Structure 1
Amino acid sequence: MAGIIFCDATELYNMLNQCTRYSRLTEPIYLYLVDVRTKYHYDESHVITAKRAKMDVDGNYLMPQDVELECVKYCVVYDGHTKSFDTEGPALQYARLLEIVSRQPIRILNGGFEYFSACYPFFRTQKIFYMPQELDAFEPYPVEIFPAKLYMGDFKQACNKQVQKDLKIKAYLNLCNEKEIFFTEENNPLILHIPSSEDTNLFSLFPTVCDFLDKHLDKGALLVFSTLGISRCCTMVMAYLIHSQKLSLKDSWAHVQKCKATIRPHRDFVQELSKWEETVLKKKITDVSDPYY
């Protein structure tokens, strides 16, 4: 058995927003999300794509029959409000049942539905069944680097008015060639635009970017975005983590990759991050000759 662990609301939010060409929610063995609250509360509102746990006539939880649980990458269970220090609860009871067959750790949502829905009310729904084409059409939100503060995404997400409204974005770091993005009429966010170019030396821009993020993260949520959201934006976010959290490049990479699995910084950018790590931390920690980078 792989065990039971707790996951935070941010982790589940990022799981829901992973994508390649399409949202990863279209993959049947990517995420199995289970609601163990009462039918009344489930029908009233639940997290998108969540299924309700079934019970027999005696009130015992039943093993799900609609999923190959041993093959699922992420299995997340939530009840109303279980927290990591709670010793018992329906989420933990159901997780113990799933743990028997799962090859991956069963995750319990820390804070349960109440906390998650308070953080991400736009991910609540009453919808129970999803057709494959509906999941194909699902548009992921930017991933969350710092809860309710720092987000990372692509140009399309930056232009999405609903994303701006739901995440309460107040400032943008634009790393695309395109300068114009669209905003809701009531908002006039701040923008730092660094055009994309093969000749751009990102290392020389790291101090400017870090200063911009330092100044504006205390004033509201900020979105860092590039054209595809997999290279320039994650390079800048890693540079900021090295600066603000004093993390090594390796640890910064691990944090950003945990938030967005498909990051692919250009090789030249990795070299510039290595130089930045040595500049900020006064020593070279990460071996970027490793093929992992």
Structure 2
Amino acid sequence: MHSLGDEIKGFSKNRLKKQCTRVTTLSGKRIIETWKDSLVHVVDDPDQQDGPTCGYVQDLSMDLQIGVVKPWLLLGSQDVAQDQDILKKYKVTHILNVAYGVENVFPDEFTYKKLSILDLPETDITSYFPECFDFIEEARLQNGAVLVHCNAGVSRAPAIIIAYLIHSEKLNFARAFSIVKNARPSVCPNPGFMEQLHKYQDCSRRQTDVIHEKTD
């Protein structure tokens, strides 16, 4: 039987596709991160412009691929959130916007929650989990469908959904990651988020053990 560590090792080495993203750090420096085999290689962006901006991942290509994690739980990029035809096709009722610098486009058509989260390894994404989980549960209990999106649909939004599965279905990280990765193959949370998700799994497992001890 494979241990959790073996499962995670297997996912990171064999299933994570190479990813290349442009990131603007909090200091305004622009870098390019290239992912391969769970390693990240960082170089300065040759197209770097003068003047500071806030940190976020830039994705200038159109990406209208929706990851169907569950029929009512969807994952995508900001492009999906701005395409009303696709949103209607998937019967979206709620939109959780965790992108940076992306406004809600159809406020009269959908129920929104907006949290501006920076796609940086040092961002404490776990601090956003309770609000996100409550909103996702609200959509589920209302028999709706919720789209969770960030800018590129690669790091922040997948991390939120992975954590939600760990929380709501008591899955381990490896299983939750596999479900989300299968739904949207491009997902690749940044290394800081990956570390936080592993710790969140351990914390959730301890809490479950405590509850079981109290009920025995």
TM range (shorter): 0.5 to 0.7
* Deviations 1:225-272 (CA, angstroms, capped at 9, x unpaired): 011111111100000000011000011011111111121110000111
Q: CA deviation at 1:207?
A: 2.0
- Superposition deviation, residue 205 in structure 1: 1.5
Q: Which amino acid aligns with 1:194?
A: S
The AA in structure 2 aligned to 1:177 is Y
Match of 2:135 among 212, 220, 237: 212
RMSD: 2.3
Question: Could you say which residue in structure 2 is the equivalent of 1:158?
Answer: 81
Q: What does residue 190 of structure 1 align with?
A: 112
> Which whole-Å CA distance do the structure 1 matches of 2:98 and 2:116 have between them?
5
CA distance in 2, matches of 1:140, 1:179: 16
1:177-201 deviations in Å (ceiling 9; x for gaps) = 124132285x242323233253531
Higher relative contact order (CA 8 A, sep 6+): 2
The answer for the alignment partner of 1:282 in structure 2 is: 206
Match of 1:172 among 88, 92, 95: 95
- Structure 1 residue ranges without an equivalent (≥5): 1-19, 22-137, 284-293
- Rounded to whole Å, the distance in 2 between the matches of 1:159 and 1:196 is 20
Is 1:234 the equivalent of 2:158?
yes
Change (3 A) 1:232 1:139: closer
User: In structure 1, how many angstroms separate the alpha carbons of the residues matched to 2:119 and 2:187?
Assistant: 19
Q: Which amino acid aligns with 1:178?
A: G
**CA apart distance, 1:164:** 1.6
Separation in 1 of the partners of 2:116 and 2:135? 12
| TM-score (ref. length: structure 1) | 0.46
264, 275, 281: which one aligns with 2:188 = 264
Residues 60-84 of structure 1, C-alpha deviation per residue, up to 9 Å, x if partnerless?
xxxxxxxxxxxxxxxxxxxxxxxxx
Identity %: 25
Change (3 A) 1:188 1:207: closer
Are positions 1:201 and 2:124 aligned together? yes
Write the distance in 2 (CA, Å) between the matches of 1:140 and 1:171: 17
Which protein is bigger by CA-based radius of gyration?
Answer: 1
Corresponding residue SS for 2:75:
strand
Q: 1:208 to 1:188 in 2, by over 3 A?
A: closer
1:143 aligned residue (36, 56, 67):
67
* Structure 2 gaps, min length 5: 1-18, 21-61, 208-216
Q: Does 1:254 align with 2:178?
A: yes
Distance 2:173 2:145 in 1: 24
Q: In structure 2, do the counterparts of structure 1 residues 188 and 265 end up closer, same or farther at CA, with 3 Å as the change threshold?
A: closer
Secondary structure of the structure 2 residue equivalent to 1:282: helix
Map 1:82-121 to 2 at 5 A.
none
CA contact (8 A) 1:242 1:277 kept: yes
Which residue identity is paired with 1:157? V
Distance 1:276 1:230 in 2: 19
Counterpart Cα distance in 2 of 1:161 and 1:250: 33
Provide the secondary structure at the position in 2 that maps to 1:169. coil
